[in-house]
């Protein structure tokens, strides 16, 4: 019974850079949206800025989680620190849910409080944020999918939620401006507040969507057939392998931990069995480079007697 491990520094570097890019963008956008919202009399942008503040916190959490997840195993953590990545994704999801609830509560308060019509320039600010956040979400999501990072994918969803919030603000501000100018003047001031309320529902739904896979990873749910299939095929087709059983795979950080039983000729020497197990590991890691550890248990292959 032997094991082998590998850590992809390139994947971690790409993931961290994607998070850092989002962090810098959020810092700039918070300042822009908060200033525009206060000066331009639109709560939708103020709420949007608050959501971006949670993005900053989330990005810092993801960054820390990725750095911790890449630490090698030690005496206290023999299986490594990969769970930190899933834990970071869980915290990000919960933060998103909290932000959605906070935005909804303040939006209702603003709806009940009369205020001025938003300034026209706030419409352009919301439009710029939509484009920026949409492109950022697309880039971060692509990196998260490539490196198979639950936390980075969560960060991408956070960016997309911000884009959705900004889109709702854009619609609400547009309605408030158009209504005040063309449809009777007063009564349309709270349109952007209603938009913020709608956006909070979307943000909450995204938080639930993000929380599910993070919790599943923490619960060691088996990955999809797209991961299991190549692993099983690589082991089964290795010369000398008669059959495999008890294949177990779990995600840890940016990689996977594999455990399986390999059946081979019972006449093999201990040395030959050890060599065969090494070939199985190499075959699996060649088929799926994201595999960090492979634990192989060698067993004698016993043919089943034919049924009568």
**233, 105: one domain:** no
pLDDT tens by residue, the chain, 308 residues: 444 444 445 777 888 888 888 888 888 888 888 888 888 877 767 777 777 777 787 778 877 887 777 777 778 887 777 788 788 888 888 887 887 888 788 778 877 776 667 788 888 888 888 898 889 888 888 888 887 777 787 778 778 877 887 887 788 888 877 876 666 656 666 777 787 788 788 778 878 887 888 888 888 888 888 889 999 999 999 999 999 999 999 887 777 889 999 999 999 999 999 999 999 999 999 998 888 889 999 999 877 555 55
What CATH number has the domain bearing residue 13? 1.20.1510.10
Domain-ending residue, one of 174, 198, 218: 218
State the Cα–Cα distance between residues 34 and 86, nearest whole angstrom. 31
3-state secondary structure of 90: helix
Nearest to 191 by CA among 171, 169, 176, 181: 176
Q: Is residue 307 part of a domain?
A: no
* 73 domain residue, yes or no: yes
2 located within any domain:
no
In a domain, 308, yes or no: no
Residues 255 and 210 reside in one and the same domain = no
Kind and range of the H or E run holding 293: strand 291-300
- Cβ neighbours of residue 40 closer than 8 Å, sequence gap 6 or more: 118, 119, 121, 122, 125
Residue 3: inside a domain, yes or no?
Answer: no
Position 291 in a domain: yes
Query: Does one domain contain both 95 and 189?
Result: yes
161, 203 Cβ separation under 8 angstroms = yes
SS3 assignment, position 20: helix
Last residue of a domain, one of 187, 218, 249: 218
Beta bridge partners of 241: 264
39 and 182, same domain (yes or no)? yes
- Give the single-character DSSP code of 73: P
How confident is the model at residue 307, as a pLDDT?
A: 56
Write the DSSP string, 147-186: TT-HHHHHHHHHHHHHHHHHHHHHHHHHHHHHHHHHS-ST
CB 37 within 8 A of CB 166: no
Cα→Cα distances 125→23, 29, 166, Å = 19, 10, 9
- On whether both 97 and 156 belong to a single domain, the answer is yes
What is the count of structural domains for the chain?
A: 2
Same domain, 206 and 237: no
Q: What per-residue confidence (pLDDT) applies to 189?
A: 66
Q: Are 117 and 177 in contact (CB under 8 A)?
A: yes
Query: 25 and 170: one domain?
Result: yes
Judgement on whether residues 147 and 267 belong to the same structural domain of the protein? no
Residue 306: inside a domain, yes or no? no
Query: Does 290 lie in the same domain as 142?
Result: no
Instruction: Give the domain-ending residue among 218, 251, 275.
Output: 218
Both 59 and 140 in one domain: the answer is yes
Q: What is the pLDDT of residue 264?
A: 93
Q: Is residue 243 part of a domain?
A: yes
Looking at the structure, do residues 179 and 56 belong to the same domain, yes or no?
A: yes
Query: For residue 234, what are the domain limits?
Result: 225-300
- CB contact set of 28 (below 8 Å; sequence gap of 6+): none
Do 93 and 74 fall within a single domain? Answer: yes
Longest CA–CA separation in the chain, Å = 92
Kindly report the pTM of this predicted structure: 0.65
| CATH number, position 242 | 3.30.70.1350
Q: Using CA atoms, how far apart are residues 140 and 154, in angstroms rounded to an integer?
A: 9
């Amino acid at each position: 019974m032997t094991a082998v491990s590998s850590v992809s520094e390139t994947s971690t570097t790409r993931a961290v850079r994607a998070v850092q890019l989002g962090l810098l963008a959020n810092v700039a956008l918070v300042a822009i949206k908060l200033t525009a919202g206060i000066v331009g009399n639109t709560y939708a942008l103020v709420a949007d800025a608050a959501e971006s503040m949670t993005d900053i916190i989330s990005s810092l959490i993801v960054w820390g989680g990725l750095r911790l997840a890449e630490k090698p195993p030690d005496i206290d953590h023999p299986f490594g620190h990969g769970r930190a990545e899933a834990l970071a994704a869980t915290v990000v999801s919960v933060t998103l849910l909290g932000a959605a609830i906070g935005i909804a509560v303040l939006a209702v308060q603003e709806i009940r409080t009369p205020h001025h019509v938003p300034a026209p320039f706030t419409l352009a600010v919301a439009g710029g944020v939509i484009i920026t956040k949409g492109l950022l979400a697309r880039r971060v999501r692509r990196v998260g999918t490539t490196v198979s990072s639950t936390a980075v994918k969560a960060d991408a969803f956070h960016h997309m939620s911000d884009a959705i919030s900004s889109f709702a603000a854009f619609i609400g501000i547009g309605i408030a401006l158009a209504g005040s100018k063309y449809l009777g003047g007063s009564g349309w001031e709270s349109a952007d507040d209603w938009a913020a309320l709608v956006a909070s529902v979307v943000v909450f739904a995204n938080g639930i969507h993000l929380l599910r896979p993070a919790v599943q990873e923490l619960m060691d749910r088996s990955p999809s057939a797209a991961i299991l299939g190549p692993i099983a095929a690589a082991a089964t087709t290795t010369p000398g392998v008669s059959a495999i059983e008890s294949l177990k795979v779990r995600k840890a950080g940016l990689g996977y931990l594999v455990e399986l039983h390999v059946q081979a000729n019972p006449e093999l020497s201990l040395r030959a069995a050890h060599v065969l197990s090494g070939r199985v590991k190499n075959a699996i890691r060649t088929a799926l480079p994201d595999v960090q550890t492979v634990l192989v248990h060698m067993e004698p292959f016993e043919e089943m007697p034919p049924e009568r």
